[in-house]
Amino acid sequence: MAAYVIDSQLFRDQFGTARMREIFSDEATVQRWLDVESSLAKVQATLGIIPQDKADEIIAKAHIRNIDLDKLKKEMDRTSHPIVPLLRAMKDVCEGDAGEFIHWGATTQDITDTGTILQVADALVELEASYQEIINNLCGLATKYRDVVMVARSHGQHALPITFGFKVAVWVEEMRRNMARFHQMKERVLVGQFSGAVGTLAALEEEGVAVQEALFRDLGLGCPKITWHVSRDNIAELVSVISIITSTIGKIASEVYALQKTEVSELEEPFATGKVGSSTMPHKRNPPSCETIMAIARVVRSTVPLALESVMAEHERDKVVLQTEREFISRVFCMADAAALKMSAISKNLSVRTENMERNLHIQKGLLMSEPVMMRLGAVIGRQEAHEIIYELCMEAFETGESLKSALLRTPAVSERLSEQEIDSMLDPHTYTGASGYFVDKVTAVS
């Protein structure tokens, strides 16, 4: 087994995805550093700060194919520095003295921070597509099962009837709120970093601000009002928002898991022949995708305190927080993407056992419908007195297995005021879903 699951040949696709591994690979990381250096040379040549021919040579050679990663790694180990070895490697591959003009006025963290944000931008595109697909799939489920009645549960116990469409619509709206957070967060996070040694752009004198603005226009990133070298709240927000969304996805997976239990059997994650539930019990149909999502959600949200620790950076530069971020940023994205892709597949092909939903409405022999009986009786004798009467009957029926209808009919305080036809009507769960359909329509009507 590898040192960590996202790198394991056996487990990496359970806890990560190929596309996130590519975005945060060593090759992509170095390429993003080179992209920043290339763009910097480009805008500085345009502004007349460095010669155009030197910038052209830097741009031409700023590609990962020109960098020996093994040699770069050895130099990084020797120097204890990530960017100086890269600058030396670029000097070696550039013709003439062009390499002397790379990294002009920049500091290491400018390059690494901006490179990370470029990777984050790529990763957020992937996540957003998966999140939107989940929302679309859930909207389809909410619409399809708008009027399919099922048991609502509170504290793990039968409560009242709802529709399955209503349950799913609650998930849809939560995911939509998450998407609003996601988009707002992007505006604050997708901001570049270029401000020199301590954030003042002193090395570029009066041209620093012009370089900064032109650089981020070229890279397609926002321009900060001031350096964020030691302001890591943006990274903390990034991890927090992704953790919230992954927790919502985990919550949905947990609900599918709970409703797939044999005794309930109302939902089942997609199943295909060949999917094995047990090495010793051939009958098992387990929910492994839901279980993995739930596990991922726990790991991802456990990273939030670590991201918050990085907000406590010191002075004008603090490598400690950068080293911490280097450990968790790619990990969070890999796991979040794995959870999102799994939920996309589950929500697209979820098995909904409507016949079992119908069956479970009646397993307590009418006790599910105690509220409408209490409310109708309360209109006649007062709510609190009605509650006491129905409560006593329900507790007796629960212990003895008697139906609520039978208990109501044998109780004069009820039978003298409510007819058998009225009681039958009140005990029909299909007539007591409130405004479930209205709320489903309200949620699914949003484009």
* 38 a catalytic residue: no
Give the up-direction half-sphere exposure of residue 396: CA atoms within 13 A in the CB hemisphere.
14
* 103 a catalytic residue: no
In the set 154, 155, 315, 447, the catalytic residue is: 155
Mean pLDDT, residues 324-332 taken together: 95
212 shares a domain with 348: yes
353 shares a domain with 240: yes
CA distance 335 to 353: 30
74 shares a domain with 128: no
In the set 81, 183, 278, 430, the catalytic residue is: 278
Answer yes or no: is 11 within a domain: no
**Predicted pLDDT at 279:** 65
407 shares a domain with 265: no
Q: Which of 346, 171, 151 is nearest to 268 (CA)?
A: 346
298 shares a domain with 190: yes
Answer yes or no: is 146 within a domain: no
Residue 395 belongs to domain with CATH number:
1.10.40.30
Q: What is the pLDDT of residues 52-103, one digit of tens each?
A: 999 999 999 999 999 999 999 999 999 999 999 999 999 999 999 999 999 9
Q: Look at the pTM and tell me if it is higher than 0.85.
A: yes
90 shares a domain with 219: no
**Predicted pLDDT at 1:** 62
Domain with 424, as residue range(s), is: 364-432
163 shares a domain with 53: no
Residue 191 belongs to domain with CATH number:
1.20.200.10
Domain count, the chain: 3
309 shares a domain with 240: yes
Which of 306, 328, 360 is the last residue before a domain boundary? 360
Q: What is the pLDDT of residues 268-306, one digit of tens each?
A: 999 877 776 666 878 888 899 999 999 999 999 999 999
Residue 84 CA to chain centroid, in angstroms? 36
CA distance 239 to 384: 49
Answer yes or no: is 145 within a domain: no
